[in-house]
Amino acid sequence: MKIAVVGTGYVGLVTGTCFAEVGIDVTCIDIDVKKIDNLKQGILPIYEPGLEKMVLRNVEKERLHFSTDLATAIQGCNAAFIAVGTPPGEDGSADLKYVLGVAREIGRSMTDYLVVVTKSTVPVGTAKKVKQAVQEELDARGSDLTFDVASNPEFLKEGAAIDDFLKPDRIVVGIESERAEELMRKLYKPFLLNGHPIIFMDVPSAEMTKYAANSMLATKISFMNDIANLCEIMGADVNMVRRGIGSDSRIGNKFIYPGIGYGGSCFPKDVKALIKTAEENGYEMQILKSVESVNENQKSVLFNKVKKHFNGDLAGKTFALWGLSFKPKTDDMREAPSLVIIEKLLEAGCKVKAYDPVAMQEASHIVGDKIEYTKDAYEAIIDADALLVITEWPEFRSPNFQVIGRLIRNKVVFDGRNIYEAKELMDLGFAYYGIGVQDVQ
């Protein structure tokens, strides 16, 4: 089996590498020449646990190749996966120019029957456009080659992407022909051996499944953040409420952690895109509109607590930030809540000292030298007026509060992820602010 994966970002690189890992001949293609040159030298564009080793192993075994030349790489392939970005356009709808551009290139260069698989997150109806784009190019060449389209949305989580791909909760595939179904089943067979299900369906349903999944998860987060904010007002503790409701098997205990808002490359853009798709088709996604607005507000919650604690007098103060990435175990800074908090602190005339185990380089591309990056977590705290926990990296979970107490100017912790026990900090003389819990001053 031979496949091409077009777009070598978080999804494309993980997809290509995992397919190579089970013995398939894979070429990962990208238009970013530097990215491909680096990958050829074993330098990865992203941080993802376990990925580097797996890439190197499969390159060495000559099952994984990198190229900028789609026309050559696609020759003799059974399938071409499109895994390029689908960023939001100005109106919030998914911008399909990269996906359709690749589809056209495939049409121009394919040499045999193949299945064109869309792995990027795309609105319902995109497979039709992909099909049309490929066909138009074939017609322009006067070619009578045949192909099928399939939709195979990706559900991997950054930070756990390898495991998610190798041991998926489920694989969703939208198909239009038995031939495509057979090929997709064969490709994914190695990942199904331990009972992981592959769910075949029609193409529009597969396309919708991805948006419905991400929107549902975003809804859980915003719902919990709304409950957390009300808990604070009413004197309740959301940590208790979370345990109380999570133990109900109909609700479950995953994804009901309050915090400082969801971010990343997927939830914000996919929620927006689904709202837009509905709007374009005369329907209003009322719940998702609220999910979005709750999330926007939530990104300011921690800053508002800081402002209140210091009676609005923030100019000249220094704040230590632990964590920058939108979630742990990734260096992805896209739509990270840290960016909103940093902007607000800088606007208020504060100095920011930040530490993140892997995302500082990525953050520096966005924030530049407007903040100071420190070599470890404790250095960020020296002479800070307070500590703000932004990302719940494991290494922040059990810090030495005695040391923190000695290094920090004011013993104040703003815990944006509820990773600490208020009582423990109170006993050590800290003021503690969490999300959805009572302040301890």
Beta carbon nearer to ligand NAD, 209 or 265: 265
| One residue of 18, 24, 29, 39 binding ligand NAD per CB under 6 A | 29
Burial (CB count <10 Å: 0-12, 13-18, 19+), residue 153: buried
Beta carbon nearer to ligand NAD, 15 or 338: 15
- Residue span binding ligand NAD (CB under 6 A) among the ranges 23-31, 296-304, 364-372, 400-408: 23-31
- The binding site for substrate comprises 155-158, 210, 255-259, 263, 327
Which two tokens mark 294?
Answer: 């709750």
Q: How far is CA 27 from its chain centroid?
A: 24
Spatial distance between the Cα atoms of 26 and 4, rounded to a whole number of angstroms: 6
Order of strands across the sheet with 351-355?
Answer: 372-373, 351-355, 318-322, 386-389, 412-415, 431-433
127 binds ligand NAD (CB under 6 A): no
- Residue span binding ligand NAD (CB under 6 A) among the ranges 27-35, 142-150, 180-188, 383-391: 27-35
Q: Give the DSSP letter of residue 137.
A: H
| One residue of 30, 207, 356, 362 binding ligand NAD per CB under 6 A | 30
Which two tokens mark 269?
Answer: 């853009």
> In angstroms, what is the C-alpha Rg of the chain?
24
Residues 244-283 within binding reach of ligand NAD (CB under 6 A): 265-266
- Minimum Å distance from CB 201 to ligand NAD? 18
Beta carbon nearer to ligand NAD, 121 or 295: 121
C-beta nearest to ligand NAD: residue: 9
Beta carbon nearer to ligand NAD, 121 or 229: 121
Q: Give the DSSP letter of residue 431.
A: E
Spatial distance between the Cα atoms of 294 and 218, rounded to a whole number of angstroms: 10
Which two tokens mark 386?
Answer: 């307070």
| One residue of 31, 56, 71, 428 binding ligand NAD per CB under 6 A | 31
- The binding site comprises 30, 35, 86, 121, 155-158, 210, 255-259, 263, 269, 327, 334
Compute the Cα dihedral for 370, 267, 97, 160 and give only its sign.
positive
Beta carbon nearer to ligand NAD, 270 or 356: 270
Residues near 271 by beta carbon (within 8 Å), at least 6 away in sequence: 214, 215, 218, 288, 291, 292
- Residue span binding ligand NAD (CB under 6 A) among the ranges 5-13, 300-308, 339-347, 371-379: 5-13
- The binding site for NAD(+) comprises 30, 35, 86, 121, 158, 269, 334
Compute the Cα dihedral for 35, 39, 42, 46 and give only its sign.
positive
- Residue span binding ligand NAD (CB under 6 A) among the ranges 25-33, 141-149, 174-182, 352-360: 25-33
- Minimum Å distance from CB 25 to ligand NAD? 19
- Alpha helices by DSSP H, 310-434: 337-347, 360-367, 377-381, 401-407, 422-427
- Minimum Å distance from CB 375 to ligand NAD? 27
Beta carbon nearer to ligand NAD, 15 or 239: 15
Biggest distance spanned by C-alpha atoms of the chain: 78
Catalytic residue among 18, 77, 231, 266: 266
Beta carbon nearer to ligand NAD, 94 or 321: 94
How many of the chain's residues bind ligand NAD (CB under 6 A)?
A: 26
- Minimum Å distance from CB 88 to ligand NAD? 10
The answer to whether 231 is a known catalytic residue is: no
Q: How many CB atoms lie within 10 A of CB 431?
A: 17
- Minimum Å distance from CB 22 to ligand NAD? 20
Spatial distance between the Cα atoms of 141 and 202, rounded to a whole number of angstroms: 29
| One residue of 3, 4, 5, 8 binding ligand NAD per CB under 6 A | 8
Yes or no: say if 272 and 215 are a contact pair by the CB < 8 Å rule.
no
Q: Give the DSSP letter of residue 158.
A: T
Residues 49-108 within binding reach of ligand NAD (CB under 6 A): 83-86, 98, 101-102
Which two tokens mark 98?
Answer: 């990269």
Spatial distance between the Cα atoms of 196 and 191, rounded to a whole number of angstroms: 7
Which helix (H) or strand (E) is 279 found in, with range? helix 267-280
- Minimum Å distance from CB 83 to ligand NAD? 5
- Minimum Å distance from CB 295 to ligand NAD? 17
Residue ranges in contact with ligand NAD by CB under 6 A: 6-12, 29-32, 35, 83-86, 98, 101-102, 120-121, 154, 156, 158, 265-266
Active site residues per annotation: 266
